[in-house]
């Protein structure tokens, strides 16, 4: 009996030992679970580990100004310029103002026979030829060289100026804080542009006069002026690493831009008062991030969507074009959309257009003031040619008429023919041509090429009484 009890006791002891071992092993398997899944803790979740790529995408334009004059000679000729507007990736400057840019002339186009003939009649035997260029390398301030592939967009290669919208007619002391903030932002944008252009030695008055005199010669060289601005679109993206996306950054981006905010943007839709129609869609991309203090409100790459609300094409006699656009929707890179009220507060435009912006952002082309001088000279030469002896004429008077008609060729023909009626006819022809070209012919259109740099005043409230895609009262579109 005793041995039987011993056997049963031993058996129960073994069973208990096995159960304890099994529980111990199971406990060992379960205990490390918290350490094996650290990603589930709040301090190291997915949002904290997300990173934002600092990439300049394909198609981004580099605004390059030639910093030295180039005498056009041959294909492959090197050119040199500098970045005059910073390039951002999300909220960081990755290509600062002053970055050196090198390139070359890729093509010198021929002049058609018709244009060459007209130029020859005007005593110009070397008419200007269209020149294609490309930029292929960036040189940062630390000496780092970044090879790039670019394509210069149409409308490039002109002398550019920054034009601010006119001040609103408000009584002194009535201007609100938002208007003051917008005005300060416009002034800052203009100061930044002037500061960027100081690194480029633009031709002075004496140099321009020398170049003008050389251009009047029958045979003359062709130059690319220092200060000429080109928009060079990247054909391949540029990678500048990444930055962490913090919760604070995410929350600030969703905020509405405060009234009076001004953003820098680039026009993605080329516009001209000659071809645009009321209601045409317009798109611009934010080129500089917008901050409210230290908080990022709009990252680079945000989209502004709008439309043409007023357009007047240039027409006879000498009527210049007008164009008015507004933006009514803001779309962030993450897809968030906001309704806004936004219009032009400033724009970079070719100096030859003499562009003006009214207080509501409407763009108006203006005729050059020099037209009065050139017309006066032509009329004076024509009048001078009519003075003289009808029996043979004073040669100087005949030559004056010839100069008014076709410059050196006219002078040579007048000297050879020695006829006062011929000189009078040439003088009258030159005077009438100048009057027609400057005062009777079709005026100048407002033209905004693709990548035109704009400063856009932005708010959060819709314009009272004016729908985003409708013209303001009393501003009917003229066709």
pLDDT of residue 59: 92
Residues 83 and 96 in one domain: yes
Burial of 425 by CB count in 10 Å (0-12 exposed, 13-18 middle, 19+ buried)? middle
pLDDT for residue 3? 52
Whether residues 306 and 401 share a domain: the answer is: no
Q: What does pTM read for this prediction? A: 0.73
Q: Are residues 190 and 133 in the same domain?
A: yes
User: Which pLDDT value is given to residue 81?
Assistant: 94
pLDDT of residue 425: 74
Share of the chain above pLDDT 90, in %: 33
Q: What is the pLDDT of residue 19?
A: 45
CATH of the domain at 89: 2.40.128.260
- Please write the tens of the pLDDT for every residue from 310-328: 999 998 888 899 999 999 9
Q: What is the pLDDT of residues 255-284, one digit of tens each?
A: 777 777 889 999 999 999 999 999 999 999
In a domain, 31, yes or no: no
> To the nearest whole percent, how much of the chain has pLDDT over 70?
74
Per-residue pLDDT band for 178 (boundaries 50, 70, 90) equals: low
Asked if the model's pLDDT at residue 23 lies above 50, the reply is no
Q: What average pLDDT is seen over the chain?
A: 77
Compare 406 and 379 and report the one with higher pLDDT.
379
Question: For position 404, what pLDDT does the model report?
Answer: 62
**Residue 72 in this model has a pLDDT that exceeds 60:** yes
HEC profile of the chain: CHHHHHHHHHHHHHHHHHHHHHHHHHHHHHCCHHHHCHHHCHHHCHHHHCEEEEEECCCCEEEEEECCCEECCCCCCEEEEEECCCEEECCEEEECCCCEEEEEEEEECCCCHHHHHHHHHCCCCCCCCCEEEEEEEEECCCCCEEECCEEECCCCCEEEEEEEECCCCCCCCCCCHHHHHHHHHHHHHHHHHHHHHCCCCCCCHHHHHHHHHHHCCCCCCCEECCCEEEEEEECCCEEEEEEECCHHHHHHHCCCCCCCEEEEEEECCCEECCCCCCCCEEEEEECCCEEECCEEEECCCCEEEEEEEEEECCECCCECCEEEEEEEEEECCCCCEEEEEEEEEEEEEEHHHCCEECCCCCEECCCCCHHHHHHHHHHHHHHHHCCCCCCCCCHHHHHHHHHHHHHHHHHHHHHHHCCHHHHHHHHHHHHHHHHHHHHHCCCCCCEECCCCEEEEEEECCCCCCCCCCCCCCCCCCEC
Higher pLDDT, 155 or 18: 155
32-59: pLDDT as tens digits: 444 444 444 444 444 445 888 899 999 9
Number of residues in the chain: 479
Q: How confident is the model at residue 325, as a pLDDT?
A: 94
pLDDT score, position 468: 41
Predicted confidence at residue 196, as pLDDT, reads: 82
Q: Tell me, yes or no, whether 418 and 453 share the same domain.
A: no
Residues 154, 74, single domain; the answer is yes
The pLDDT value recorded for residue 472 is: 39
Residues 263 and 360 in one domain: yes
Residue 411's pLDDT band, with cuts at 50, 70 and 90, is: low
pLDDT for residue 102 is more than 90: yes
Q: What is the pLDDT of residue 479?
A: 35
- Over residues 106-125, mean pLDDT: 85
Residue 304 located in a structural domain: yes
pLDDT band at residue 294 using 50, 70 and 90 as cut-offs: confident
Greater pLDDT, 140 or 173: 140
My answer on whether 308 and 378 are in the same domain is no
Least confident piece of the model among 19-33, 214-228, 339-353, 397-411: 19-33
Q: By mean pLDDT, which of 107-121, 229-243, 359-373 is the weakest?
A: 359-373
Give the per-residue pLDDT at 91. Answer: 86
261/388 same-domain check: no
pLDDT greater than 80 at residue 352: yes
Does 119 score more than 60 pLDDT? yes
Say how many domains are in the chain: 2
Domain contains 14: no
At 385 the pLDDT is 67
The boundaries of the domain holding residue 421 are: 370-440
Most confident of 5-19, 306-320, 427-441: 306-320
Q: Is residue 4 part of a domain?
A: no
For range 325-337, the mean pLDDT: 86
478 is a domain residue:
no
Least confident of 402-416, 433-447, 462-476: 462-476
Q: In terms of pLDDT, which residue wins out, 83 or 420?
A: 83
Q: What is the pLDDT of residue 47?
A: 44
Q: What pLDDT sits at residue 295?
A: 83
Higher pLDDT, 353 or 412: 353
CB proximity list for 431: less than 8 A, separation 6 or greater: 375, 378, 379, 381, 382, 383, 404
For residue 9, pLDDT over 60 is answered with: no
Render pLDDT for 199-254 as a digit per residue (tens, 0 to 9). Answer: 776 667 787 778 777 877 788 899 998 889 999 999 999 999 998 887 777 777 76
The answer to the question of residue 9 being in a domain is no
User: Is the separation of the CB atoms in 90 and 296 below 8 Å?
Assistant: no
Question: Is there a domain that residue 18 lies in?
Answer: no
**383 and 325 in one domain?**
no
Determine, yes or no, domain membership for 309: yes
**What pLDDT is attached to residue 93?**
92
How much is the pLDDT for 440?
Answer: 82
Average pLDDT of the residues in 434-439? 77
359 and 284 co-located in one domain: yes
Of 439 and 382, more confident: 439
Q: Are residues 340 and 397 in the same domain?
A: no
Residues 115 and 152 both lie in one domain: yes
């Amino acid at each position: 009996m005793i041995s039987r009890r011993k056997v049963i006791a031993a058996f129960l002891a073994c069973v208990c030992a096995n159960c304890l071992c099994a529980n111990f092993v199971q406990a060992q398997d379960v205990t490390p679970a918290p350490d094996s899944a650290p990603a589930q803790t709040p301090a190291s979740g997915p949002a904290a580990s997300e990173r934002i790529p600092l990439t300049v995408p394909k198609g981004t334009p580099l605004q390059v100004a030639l910093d030295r004059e180039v005498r056009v000679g041959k294909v492959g000729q090197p050119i040199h310029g500098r970045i005059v507007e910073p390039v951002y990736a999300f909220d960081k400057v990755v290509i600062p103002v002053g970055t050196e840019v090198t390139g070359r002339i890729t093509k010198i186009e021929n002049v058609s026979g018709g244009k060459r003939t007209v130029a020859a009649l005007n005593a110009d035997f070397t008419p200007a030829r269209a020149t294609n260029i490309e930029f292929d390398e960036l040189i940062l301030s630390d000496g780092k060289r970044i090879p790039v592939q670019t394509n210069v967009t149409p409308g490039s290669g002109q002398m550019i100026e920054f034009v601010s919208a006119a001040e609103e007619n408000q009584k002194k002391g009535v201007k609100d804080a938002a208007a003051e903030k917008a005005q300060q932002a416009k002034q800052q944008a203009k100061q930044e542009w002037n500061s960027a252009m100081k690194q480029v030695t633009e031709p002075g008055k004496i140099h321009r006069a020398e170049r003008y005199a050389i251009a009047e010669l029958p045979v003359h060289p062709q130059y690319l002026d220092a200060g000429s601005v080109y928009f060079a679109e990247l054909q391949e993206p540029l990678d500048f690493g990444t930055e962490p996306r913090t919760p604070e950054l995410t929350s600030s981006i969703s905020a509405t831009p405060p009234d009076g905010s001004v953003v820098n943007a680039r026009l993605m839709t080329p516009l001209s008062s000659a071809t645009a129609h009321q209601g045409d869609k317009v798109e611009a991309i934010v080129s500089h991030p917008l901050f409210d203090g230290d908080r990022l409100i709009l990252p680079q790459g945000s989209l502004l969507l709008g439309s043409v609300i007023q357009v007047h094409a240039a027409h006879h006699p000498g009527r210049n074009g007008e164009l008015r656009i507004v933006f009514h929707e803001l779309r962030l890179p993450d897809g968030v959309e906001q309704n806004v009220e936004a219009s032009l507060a400033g724009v970079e435009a070719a100096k030859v257009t003499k562009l003006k912006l009214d207080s509501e952002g409407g763009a108006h082309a203006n005729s050059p003031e020099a037209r009065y001088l050139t017309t006066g000279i032509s009329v004076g030469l024509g009048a001078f040619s009519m003075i003289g002896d009808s029996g043979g004429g004073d040669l100087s008077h005949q030559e004056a008429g010839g100069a008014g008609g076709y410059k050196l060729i006219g002078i040579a023909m007048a000297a050879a023919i020695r006829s006062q009626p011929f000189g009078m006819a040439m003088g009258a022809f030159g005077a009438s041509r100048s009057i027609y070209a400057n005062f009777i012919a079709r005026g100048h259109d407002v033209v905004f090429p693709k990548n035109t740099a704009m400063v856009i005043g932005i708010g959060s409230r819709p314009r009272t009484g004016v729908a985003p895609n409708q013209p303001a009262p009393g501003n009917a579109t003229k066709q």
